[in-house]
């Protein structure tokens, strides 16, 4: 089955860290750019980061630069998001998505990250 | 404030047509043919409805169509059905520090 499954979300205190994972199956993971997109409660979608097929190019939204790191392991068909120095405003559902033809054509179910004291 | 501007809400009756606009700048919507549209039902992940301005992925109903003129993209849904009630987001590639931007979303209500 073609799917993306996120994990690793949870409750963390401000300043804390969390590592999200996204397991891909059913397609040639190493052939696609991948991205993370988040959605704060009751709010719209926000692109967070992208990574090239071989991991050589990475891009981030300004608000997470220097705090978040996107990475991938093509041997494990997995995408990651290391989140450090978390802030209350990082609270959101985090989706991993596959990029295809300049759009995200496949999405995971999302994992909730709550940053609160 | 989102990079792309969408109306907060639109509504229509079953069978009618509605159009959702998405206004950006020459640095995003107007500069690239990389506009996409997503449908999101409550509690669900977004679903790609349109890519590269006007292309429908396999499996998406031909009641969904889209276009672009200048800095504004538009999504049209014809023959409205109850199942179309959802939030819709536009997105575009952008030549800026943030290479991918979304609109704020539009809530479609089928009356």
Tell me the per-residue pLDDT of A6-16, one tens digit each, with 9 for 90 and over. 999 999 999 99
Is residue A37 a contact partner of residue A25, using CB atoms and an 8 Å limit? no
The predicted-structure confidence for B36-79, as pLDDT tens digits, reads as follows 999 999 999 999 999 999 999 999 999 999 999 999 999 999 99
Rounded CA-CA distance A64/B36 in Å is 24
d(CA A30, CA A55): 9
Q: How far apart are CA A17 and CA A80, in angstroms?
A: 13
Q: d(Cα B71, Cα B53) in Å, to the nearest integer?
A: 12
* Interface contact B57-A61, CB threshold 8 A: no
Q: What mean pLDDT is predicted for residues A5-33? A: 98
**Cβ neighbours around A44 below 10 Å, total:** 17
Q: How far is B101 from chain A (nearest CA, A)?
A: 7
Report the residue from A46, A103, A109 with minimal CB separation from B48: A103
Report the C-alpha gap between B90 and B50 in whole angstroms. Answer: 9
On the question of pLDDT at B2 being above 70, the answer is no
Minimal Cα–Cα distance from B90 to chain A, Å? 10
As a whole number, the mean pLDDT across chain A is: 97
Task: Tell me the residues of chain B between 71 and 110 that have a Cβ less than 8 Å away from chain A.
Answer: 89, 91, 93, 97-105
Instruction: Check A44 against B103: CB less than 8 A apart.
Output: yes
Beta bridge partners of A111: A94
Phi and psi angles of residue A31, each rounded to the nearest 5 degrees, phi first: -95, -5
| Residue B106 pLDDT > 90 | yes
Q: Which of A87, A117, A35 is nearest to B38 (CA)?
A: A35
Tokens 């301005």, residue?
Answer: B53
Phi and psi angles of residue B41, each rounded to the nearest 5 degrees, phi first: -85, 155
């Amino acid at each position: 089955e073609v799917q993306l499954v996120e994990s690793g979300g949870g409750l963390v205190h401000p300043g804390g860290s969390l590592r999200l994972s996204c397991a891909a199956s059913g397609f040639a993971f190493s052939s696609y750019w991948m991205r993370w997109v988040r959605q704060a409660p009751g709010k719209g979608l926000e692109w967070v980061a992208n990574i090239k097929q071989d991991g050589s190019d990475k891009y981030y939204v300004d608000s997470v630069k220097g705090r978040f790191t996107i990475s991938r392991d093509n041997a494990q068909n997995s995408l990651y998001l290391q989140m450090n120095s978390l802030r209350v405003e990082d609270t959101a559902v985090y989706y991993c998505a596959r990029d295809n033809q300049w759009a995200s054509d496949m999405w995971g179910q999302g994992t909730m990250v709550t940053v609160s004291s | 404030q989102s990079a792309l501007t969408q109306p907060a809400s639109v509504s229509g009756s079953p069978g009618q047509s509605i159009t959702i606009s998405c206004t950006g700048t020459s640095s995003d919507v107007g500069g690239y043919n990389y506009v996409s549209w997503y449908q999101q039902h409550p509690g669900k992940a977004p679903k790609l409805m349109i890519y590269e301005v006007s292309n429908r992925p396999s499996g998406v109903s031909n009641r969904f169509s889209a276009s672009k003129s200048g800095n504004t993209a538009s999504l049209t849904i014809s023959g409205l059905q109850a199942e179309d009630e959802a939030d819709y987001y536009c997105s575009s590639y952008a030549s800026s520090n943030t290479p991918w931007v979304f609109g704020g979303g539009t809530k479609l209500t089928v009356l």
